[in-house]
Each structure stands twice: as C-alpha cells, then as structure tokens.
Structure 1
C-alpha cells in the first residue's frame, strides 16, 4: 500500500468481506470506510471487521465511520447497544434547563463514543448542525437540536466534546446547512431559495462556530443565491466562498454519499466533480461493486492540503478518558427523566 491513500471513504456490502472486496480494497487503498446496518451483526463481528479493514490497507489509523446519531438514524441498537434519543430531545431539555441540556448532550455523546471505541470505530457522522426550519421536509426534522442557531451551536459543541473525550472524531454536517430543504436529498435534489444574508444569519452560525472540527460533510443542495448550477457538494463557489470562506472550515471536507439520487451523472462524473469543487474526500456508501469500481477509477490520492488537515486531526485526537458507562447512563437517564 502507498503512504498516500486514495481520497475515498467506501462502504461494503455485508457483515464480512467477500473475496472480491478483499482484493479490490487492498488494491484501491481507500482513506477510510463507513459501516451501515447491513454490516452489523454483533460486537465480535464488528471488531473483526474493523480489524480486517485496517489490515487490508496497512494503516492502523485508517478512519472507520458510522452514522450513530440517535433516534431514527443509528446503525447500532438493541440487543447489543443502547438506542440513543434523537437530537430534538436534547434541544427540548436545553429549553427547560440549559445546564442540564448541555450535560445530557455531552454524556450521550460520551456514551456513543464508548460504544464505538470498543468496536474499533473511530469516527461518528455527528453532530448534525442543521438548523431546523418550520415547514421544511422531515429529512432533518428531529435530527436537529432546535430552530435557534445559538442552541444548535451550544449543543453541537457538547456533542463534539463528548465524542472527543472518548477518542472519536466528530463530523459536522451537512455544511452549509440542510435545514431549509423541501425534499429528501436521498431521493431528489433540493433547491433552497434564500439569500446569502439569510444563510449567514440563520444557517451558517453553527458551522462557523464549530469550524475547528476535524471533519465536515457537505449537503447535496443547490443554493441559487450562491451557485444556481451545482449542489454544494459539486460547487467550487460554495466550497470556496461559503464553506472555506464564510464558515472558515479548514478541516477535512467529505461529500455526502455520492450514490444519493440528488446528484446526476455517472459515478465517475460525480467523483471528479467533487474533487474539482474542492472536497478532500469522496464518500460512497452502498457497497455496489460496479459503482465502487467507477468511483475508484476517477479518484485521486489525498492531496497535500488534505494530508495537512489529516495530520492536524490526528495530532488533536485525544486518548479516551476513563469513564464508568453505567454511572454515566444512570446520570443521563435521570437528566432526561427529570430535567
């Protein structure tokens, strides 16, 4: 394997690697991997899978991602793992008692990090920093903390602190904001008609305040006020002027899943356009072999800027602090029940 991996994060088809996947991933040498429900059976199985994936690329620190938000977006759950509440629950607690809301949010994230770390998963696609908007599509919905960007910012910081205390990299999403979308970007391309001034006042503040996060994930949304011709993921103007510029984000920028129906064109075209727009990493999730081959054929090695950002993320990663999960869970339960 080279010391400069392809700037890709790839999914796989099932709970164990097929012979084709083993050979393909060893040759492709992607930067990292992402796991979904289809990859999850038991703690021992996931531990073996994460060890196998890292051994294939010869990098013990190759990131392994998961979407473990809570509520309806989680990949781990009973009987082996706790099912965390959705973000909205913590926003509602914060509205009643800000101190308890912050504490509960931090504890919940620390418990998630504990679960992930035991499995060899070191990156969680969390926190969701999308500000909820009345009347928008429910694709964000209760995944958002609140309609107030200041609340989203405060609770987003608490999530980052909780994950990092457990040695897990956070991924802020979906930059520059998914909260106004009127359709589900998994199925359609949202077009958000608002001014840059409106975005700067309401949607961007959480991303700007938490721009020191090591990773961010883009939104597959067209913002005509900025770039009428391309969704944020594929727009050099959005990346340069808004994500890197107005938000000041200088961490590793990854696409949302390239296989989502919001995007048009072949996987080769989507991959090239993502890099041309300024994304550091391309995310492809569904594990479909033909699509993976196309994405790999169009991919580039992690470039100098991406390598610098990755080196900084690794240098800033904390070793997991000791914790008593049972005590933390008791305290969290008490806050949620009586806060």
Structure 2
C-alpha cells in the first residue's frame, strides 16, 4: 500500500493510452477525474473504468456530475438531472396543507436525485461525484448561479444533506464545495482570481454555515480558489488558516479535503507571483489538502504538465520538502465505494431507482 497518493489527474480520451497507464501506475497518483471527452456511451465508459481499475484497484475514479449545466454524461440512458436551484424552488413553492410539507417534499426529491446520480455512475464504474455544491446563491456569481440550492444556508444544508443521503444509498461518497463559499465573489476562478472582501464572522454565519452544520456527515470538502483578504491573503485552498484552523479545528470537519483544479487561473498565482503546478500542489498539501487535482492537462503537450507534477512531487519527497501522510491516505481510501454496485440492466428495474425517477422535479 502506498503511504499517500495525493494526485488526481485526467486521461486523454475514451480509452487509456500507454502514457495514461504509466502515469496512473505511479505511487503518488491516487485518482482520475473524468470529463465529457472521456465519454462516448455507457459501454465505453464502463470499459474505461475497468481499464483504470486494472492499473490499480485503489485508484479513485471521480467526475463533476452535479446535474443542470454541470453533468458530464447526458446520453445513452443517463438521466438529465435538474439544476440544484430547482430543489430550492420546490422547497419554497410546492403546495402544502401543513407547514413544512414543501420542505420535506424538496428533501425527498433531493434524496432521489442523489440516488439516481450515484447509482447511474456506479453502474458504469465511477466511484465519486464531486457534489453537492454548498455555495449560497447571492445572485452575484454567474459561475455558481443555478448550481446552488438556495440563498439561505439552512435550506442549502438540508437539501445538500438529503442529496448526500441519496448518494450514500447508492454506495457513493460525496464532496461539498466550494469552502468557505464561492457565491459572493463575482469573478470565475477558472479564468480569474475572485476576491470576497467580507469579514470572517459574516462568512462563517452565512456561506460557511453549512460546513459546520454538516461537519459530522461530510465525506469530503473542496475549498474555493477565492481570496478572502480579511482572513488570509491566500486563496482558501492554499490557506492553513482556512483549512486547518477553521475547517478542521473550529468547524470539526474530519473527512478528506480535495483541492480544486490546480490548472485554474485562481491557482496559478500565490503571494503575488506565478507558480507552477508543482508549487501549487505543495502549497495546497502543506495548507491541509489531502488530495490535489490537476485537470485537462493530458491533452496539453502530450501530458507534459502532469509528468512535470509527478516528477516535481517525487523530487520534493526525495529532498524532504514534502512527506507522505498516512492519515490523508486513509481519508482518500475512505472515499472509495465499499459495496458492490448494481449493473445498468438490474438498476433499470430496481424499485428504489424507478421510484426515485418519479420524484425528480
């Protein structure tokens, strides 16, 4: 068993290349993140996941599959899932004869969505979807927008908990994102470095509140590539104060912390200077991340950025600038499914799945 495999990388296409296999077999690589370019149909996706698991059974196969506009697989039987905002609207707008019935109906629907999402992915061999979004809809962030359940942290918390429950029923863990909140900052961290100027107490009371209320239940958390200058000059994903002092010590979170994509603009500058993916990865790991993601780089210069990251982290180990962490590795492994999944044909007639489809808004 590797003492710590923190790197999550992508692969180039619909089947593994020799270069993909070589990278995935490296002991510092602990996972794969899939994208739409890795999809043709269910049979191909299932075959790709099997290829990955033949390289190493413990590799964690991830995908951003939230519903709405962030859903990587949409055809060949995959259910088009609604954006999370639809569950918030159901909470607020569903008819009720007694107080609270609309909220309960919305939570039931969110649980159904989580089950459908997780069961369909697991039927094809995917281990983990990086969902739910815990950001609040302040009406300011286009990149979050309808990915958020609601603007009220209490509504977000209960709907996210319901969705996560559905994922757990399908045998899948979950990842709340983007800590402590991306909903207030207007800029998109994919192409810019967003800034949230609010004080710590405001953020803790509003945007970060779901992380405290769900601290006993969350399996994983992904921090935001957002700077909160009244708290730390670094983005949250590179901040020991946010990840260690606040998320773990103050809020009591004990699960895995996964960085957001280190190729995003919000991760390319630290302390006022440009950084390489290796420098960003080391900073994120030092701050408290257990896993670091580098996405959409296998098709850049034949995957040279991934090779550079693997080599750079290997050198850091040899030179004593970074040490593998067995606790972090245990957190990574805890995200792997522990039970068997229904195959697609069996899933299509499984009563819970059929009923869950009827409950989707």
- Structure 1 residues 154-193: aligned runs within 5 Å: 154-193=158-197
- The structural deviation recorded for 1:27 is 3.1
For 1:304, the equivalent position in structure 2 comes to: 326
Q: 1:276 to 1:12 in 2, by over 3 A?
A: same
Q: Distance in 1 between matches of 2:17 and 2:123?
A: 24
Q: CA RMSD in A?
A: 2.0
Q: Does 1:21 align with 2:48?
A: no
- The structural deviation recorded for 1:207 is 1.1
Q: Does 1:103 align with 2:108?
A: yes
Which consecutive unaligned segments of at least 5 residues does structure 1 have?
A: none
Q: 1:115 to 1:19 in 2, by over 3 A?
A: same
Structure 1 runs (4+) deviating above 6 angstroms are none
For 1:281, the equivalent position in structure 2 comes to: 291
Deviations 1:133-189 (A, max 9, x none): 13x121100000000000000001001100000011111111111111110000000
Q: 1:302 to 1:319 in 2, by over 3 A?
A: farther
- Structure 1 residues 130-149: aligned runs within 5 Å: 130-134=135-139, 136-149=140-153
Q: Distance in 1 between matches of 2:222 and 2:329?
A: 17
- The structural deviation recorded for 1:241 is 1.9
Q: Does 1:226 align with 2:248?
A: no
SS at match of 1:6: coil
SS at match of 1:217: strand
SS at match of 2:261: coil
Q: Distance in 1 between matches of 2:53 and 2:341?
A: 20
Pick the aligned partner of 2:202 from 198, 201, 206: 198
SS at match of 2:70: coil
SS at match of 1:203: coil
Deviations 1:227-276 (A, max 9, x none): 02x11111112112222133321111010000001122111211111111
How many residue pairs were aligned? 328
Assess if the C-alpha contact under 8 Å between 1:208 and 1:248 holds in 2. Answer: yes
Q: Using the TM superposition, name which of 68-77 and 26-35 deviates more.
A: 26-35
For 1:331, the equivalent position in structure 2 comes to: 358
Q: Distance in 1 between matches of 2:150 and 2:256?
A: 26
Q: Distance in 2 between matches of 1:180 and 1:9?
A: 28
Q: TM-score, normalised by structure 1?
A: 0.91
Q: TM-score, normalised by structure 2?
A: 0.86
- The structural deviation recorded for 1:302 is 4.8
Q: 1:19 to 1:62 in 2, by over 3 A?
A: closer
Q: Distance in 2 between matches of 1:285 and 1:317?
A: 26
Pick the aligned partner of 2:61 from 41, 61, 64: 64
SS at match of 2:227: coil
For 2:117, the equivalent position in structure 1 comes to: 112
Q: 1:302 to 1:42 in 2, by over 3 A?
A: farther
SS at match of 1:69: strand
Q: Does 1:76 align with 2:103?
A: no
Deviations 1:175-216 (A, max 9, x none): 111111110000000010001110111011111112232211
Q: 1:318 to 1:91 in 2, by over 3 A?
A: farther
Which consecutive unaligned segments of at least 5 residues does structure 2 have?
A: 94-101, 270-274, 314-321
Q: Using the TM superposition, name which of 279-288 and 183-192 deviates more.
A: 279-288
For 2:272, the equivalent position in structure 1 comes to: none
Pick the aligned partner of 1:129 from 97, 119, 134: 134
